[in-house]
Amino acid sequence: MNPHTEHFVLPARLLHWTMALMIIAMLFIGAAMVSTVSTAHSTLVAWHRPIGSAILLLVLLRIVVRLRHPPPALPSDIPAWQRHAARLSHWLLYALMIAMPLIGWAMLAAGGYPVQIFSTLRLPPIAPHDLHLYTVLHRLHTYLAYLFLLTVLMHLAAAMFHGLIRKDGVFRSMAS
Amino acid sequence: MNDRLPLRQQLGRALREHGRAAALIAATVGAVALLFAFDAGWLDPRRLTPAKIANALEAHDGLHEGFRRAHAKGVCFVGHFDANGEGVRLSKARVFAAGRSSLIGRFSTGGGQPYSPDGRLVFHAMALSITAANGEQWRTGMDDTPVFPVATPQAFLDFQVATQPDANGKPDPAKVAAYLQAHPETRAFMQWLKDHPLPSSFANGTYYSINAFRFINAQGDSHFVRWSSLPETPFAAIDKDRLATLDHDFLFDDVRTRITHGPLRWHLLLTLAKDGDPTNNATKQWPDDRESVDVGTLSIERVASEEDSPCRDLNFDPLILPPGIAASGDPLLAARSAVYSTSFTRRASEGPQPSAQAPAIHDAAQNGNRSKP
């Protein structure tokens, strides 16, 4: 075994863990807010929009950081299928981090809702007011949220696999 | 580690060598998934979800695809709100600064049946989406009764279920009686409907905000407020004993005829609570002597069928509020917001239907868009 010692740069690690918390929070907030008529509904809706907006901003910053500081290479002894799975799941995570806030934003616009992020910030509509489009975007937002959750769970399992079983330094490259 | 081994053997070996680690991974992932299932309500069949209330509305009045689950029969209008500036001391919302805001709204009868006769239910509603000059939106759905039949989302659901028609098309009297026995506030609402004269037209009704809201001014002071719109059209009472004999669309025909004679106007009144007035219970009126501030005039200039107007595709969610107006602690507000959203999403996916109200007089109304005939 050849544990590699390279790390993600500090900004990348900070962004990763901050966004990890925010994304998991968003998945939980989103699922809860559509499941209740209690006052939690309006509180959670009020959190969902600013956190989603922040994720969109942070993922753009994260892409810049990643392009400037490419992540450490995976250990050379990783089987090809795991290498492919890693690449695919990271692409998927990035795509979802960008797409989910944009779909949410466009969905509100298509539903004719003011895109009120918090009381003093309202974003312009990025889609026409059109209920067919709203329906498509609403379904996408819902199904992609489940895909996001599954991808995050796989990512978590893979990270723990690297940290606890392979002990190949991949987990440590992000964790410390 | 040998990456030439097939996956199954690799996994098998990993399990033998790393059983505890594998169990920890499975337990962690499983715990997050379980937490999510709890969070989403999948493990909690008693959670009061917006879907349950929307389903109860559909069961009560039938599923009418593309229509709102409540207040299904309606007509759109457009106009404006002229603020006189008096509201500024209560709220920093731009809509109250002296000047004009545009509005889109909707008159509707109660219930979820888009083709029901207008005499079926006596209460009517006015919904508004007011857009201030700076783009801030204020949406409200108001009823023409100052009190609501229920105070909580659970009571609303119970009321729908208890009054749901059974196979013979009528609610089970025993269920209704049991519900009413447990809900004096609903009995009080029904008594209010009996005791008070009710408007004969959409145009001469007073519409009430149902819930209390918190108004915040530029200094940060907050007041609890209920609002109402008071018609300039003189009040005339409907004959409650002859409802069944009235024309099928008498209310909608009436408003479309009236609008051809000029705009219809209401004064928007903000009524301030005093300490101790209930602000979280829509079934409780405030005493009559509470201060009211006339903050401006709502003018409706044009009435249009839903099919030709943007109001059909709007959700009059009462929590779409500009800065300067916020929710009170009334539990109905979040419930209305959640259930309206579910209703909106459902009818959007069904393909919004043309209005039940044909645009018969619509062209006349459009041509009649002038101040006096």
Q: Which pLDDT tens digit goes with each residue over B40-82? A: 999 999 999 999 999 999 999 999 999 999 999 999 999 999 9
Rg (CA), chain B: 25
Using a CB-CB distance cutoff of 8 angstroms, which residues of chain B are in contact with residue A77?
A: 1, 3
A112–B29: do the CB atoms touch at under 8 Å?
Answer: no
Find out whether B254 and B203 touch, Cβ atoms under 8 Å: yes
**pLDDT, position B120:** 83
Find out whether B117 and B158 touch, Cβ atoms under 8 Å: no
Query: pLDDT of B177-196, one tens digit each?
Result: 999 999 999 999 999 999 99
Which of the four pLDDT bands, split at 50, 70 and 90, describes residue B354?
low
Find out whether B215 and B225 touch, Cβ atoms under 8 Å: yes
Query: pLDDT of A84-128, one tens digit each?
Result: 999 999 999 999 999 999 999 999 999 999 999 988 899 999 999
* Cβ-defined contacts of B158-165 (< 8 Å, 24+): B158/B182, B158/B183, B159/B183, B159/B186, B160/B53, B160/B56, B160/B57, B160/B59, B160/B60, B161/B56, B161/B59, B163/B60, B164/B56, B164/B59, B164/B60, B165/B60
Query: pLDDT of B82-128, one tens digit each?
Result: 999 999 999 999 999 999 999 999 999 988 999 889 988 778 999 99
Which of the four pLDDT bands, split at 50, 70 and 90, describes residue B3?
low
**pLDDT, position B7:** 79
Query: Any idea which residue has 């889109």 for tokens?
Result: B104
Give the gap in angstroms from C-alpha A116 to the nearest C-alpha of chain B: 9
What percent of chain A stands above pLDDT 70?
A: 97
Best residue of B65, B213, B313 to probe chain A, by most A CBs closer than 10 Å: B313
**pLDDT, position B358:** 55
Residue B309 has pLDDT above 90, yes or no: no
Tokens of B156: 């609303």
**pLDDT, position B5:** 73
Q: From B329, which residue of chain A is nearest by alpha-carbon distance?
A: A39
| Measured CA distances, A64 to A57, A103, B155, B303 (Å) | 11, 22, 53, 53
The lowest-confidence range among B136-150, B216-230, B310-324, B352-366 is B352-366
Tokens of B313: 């595709």
pLDDT, tens digit only, all 176 positions of chain A:
444 558 899 999 999 999 999 999 999 999 999 999 999 999 999 999 999 999 999 999 999 999 999 999 999 999 999 999 999 999 999 999 999 999 999 999 999 999 999 888 999 999 999 999 999 999 999 999 999 999 999 999 999 999 999 999 999 999 87
β partners of residue A116: A122
B338–A36: do the CB atoms touch at under 8 Å?
Answer: yes
B36–A160: do the CB atoms touch at under 8 Å?
Answer: no
Residue B340 has pLDDT above 80, yes or no: yes
Query: pLDDT of B271-300, one tens digit each?
Result: 999 999 999 999 999 999 999 999 999 999
